[in-house]
Copies of this chain bind each other. A is one copy, B any other.
Amino acid sequence: MKKRIFTLTATSILLLSVAASHAQAPPGSQPAPSNARYAEYPAISPDDRVTFQLSAPLAQKVQVIPGEDEKGNGLGKGPFDMVKDNKGVWWVTVGPVTPGFHYYKFLVDGALVADPATQNYFAFDGGASGVEVPAAGLDFYLPKNVPHGDVRIHWFYSKVTETWLRVHIYLPPGYDSNTKTRYPVVYLRHEGSEDDSAWVFQGKLNFIMDNLIAEKKAKPMIVVMDNDHVYNPKEPKIKNERPNKPMAPPNRYKEEMITDLVPMIDATYRTIADRNHRAIAGMANGGGEALLIAFDPKDDLFSYAGAFSCGYCTTAVQGPATVTTIFDGIWKDPATFNKNFHLFYLSAGTLEMHHKFIPELHDKLTAIGVKSVYHEVGGAGGTHEWLNAREAFRDFAPRLFQ
């Protein structure tokens, strides 16, 4: 009955991996929770060493390339040379590593490819692999026996880009049954190389929200996760600052959000459609975008704004901008800013490259009378990776719409 109909002609190559000994991994190693079903590797040892495996019988050189955070935390600095066994299977054990979610790829004789043994993640502008190393004592992003909201995948036509766009939307538990209730909305932006699926699959946003709502720590709210890589393909292509992607037309993320996305969300879902019930935040590059959108006075759509691990924000401290020039000089008038924003939130991880500049920004803003909240993410979440973003959102969401 279980007939495999779509067969890869080279499936037999994979069989070699089964014969390989488990002795290559430290005792007690278990498949990572992020693995594709049935995949035994990557495997995680009780002391958080990670063993990777790839069958590549004819290869000369195979390495694990960490999608490392800026300082070589996470999986470690890499690249990690793998060693071939007598069955053509390559192995390496790294670590102990920092708990959390780590991207990586394999470099197989110069080809940079994803490990097909993990779940699919979209990152680095394409298919990527990742390994989740459970963090002892942290379960705020795991599914629990509480009411669960649904994640919606919604497609809509964008007038700005003249294309169909996709967005992921979290709707809280009770949305379907409380049919008169309207909800506030958070718009949440991904890190630069990812897409609208990242806050769900890498970020575990839905489980974080389910758990916060169940504990009555956060108000029920709608979370809209869109994709910042939007452009009109009819526009002339330009040289993109992403060096390996020279053909992208001008990015239209802000115009698309204001013109298409927010009105569509307000027309489609039971939102409270005013600035007092609208927040925006983002991780890394998405944090800078969130503030650029929130702080544009001609739009005036948001009264809560957050930037997690925002490199762009640090330019107000380390140059070339200053706290009174960045964001079109919005902080020249602290009284108006404080009146307009119920919350301006910054976070940084203790192991991040820009870490010291974020609390410095917070201090400078405080000194000139601009109200901001600074949250430091330490421990395993201190790296520039998704455990950091999860923890930042866990701390951010309860401060909204109170």
Contact = CB atoms under 8 A, between A and B. Distances in A.
B200 A153 contact: yes
A376 interface: no
Given A109-B109, A150-B152, A38 B118 contact: no
Contacts of A155: 143, 148, 206-207
A4 interface: yes
Interface in A4-24: 4-11, 13-15, 17-18
A120 B122 contact: yes
A348 interface: no
Contact of A9 (B66, B127, B145, B157): B66
Contacts of A67: 6-8
A62 B6 contact: no
A26 interface: no
A61 B58 contact: yes
Given A8-B67, A9-B68, A384-B5, A59 B111 contact: yes
A298 interface: no
A193 interface: yes
A145 B127 contact: no
Given A10-B79, A145-B157, A153-B200, A38 B125 contact: yes
A3 B143 contact: no
Contacts of A91: none
A178 to B, nearest CB: 10
Determine chain A's interface SS by DSSP, over half rule.
loop
Interface in A303-319: 309, 311-312
A333 B117 CA distance: 47
Number of copies: 2
Interface residues of A, number: 112
A371 interface: no
Nearest to A269: B176
A318 to B, nearest CB: 13
Given A2-B192, A153-B153, A38 B243 contact: no
A268 to B, nearest CB: 8
B65 A6 contact: no
Contact of A69 (B6, B66, B385): B6
Contact of A56 (B109, B115, B192, B251): B109
A402 interface: no
B4 A192 contact: yes
A396 interface: no
A131 interface: no
Contacts of A164: 143
Contact of A111 (B40, B113, B126, B195): B113
A44 B23 CA distance: 46
Contacts of A288: 1, 3
Interface of A: 1-11, 13-15, 17-18, 36-40, 54-63, 65-70, 78-79, 88, 103, 105-129, 143, 145, 148, 150-157, 164, 169, 176, 179, 191-193, 195, 200, 206-207, 229, 240-248, 251, 268-270, 284-285, 288-289, 292, 309, 311-312, 384-385
Given A38-B125, A120-B122, A143-B164, 9 more contacts: A5-B70, A6-B193, A6-B384, A59-B108, A59-B110, A88-B110, A108-B108, A112-B116, A155-B206
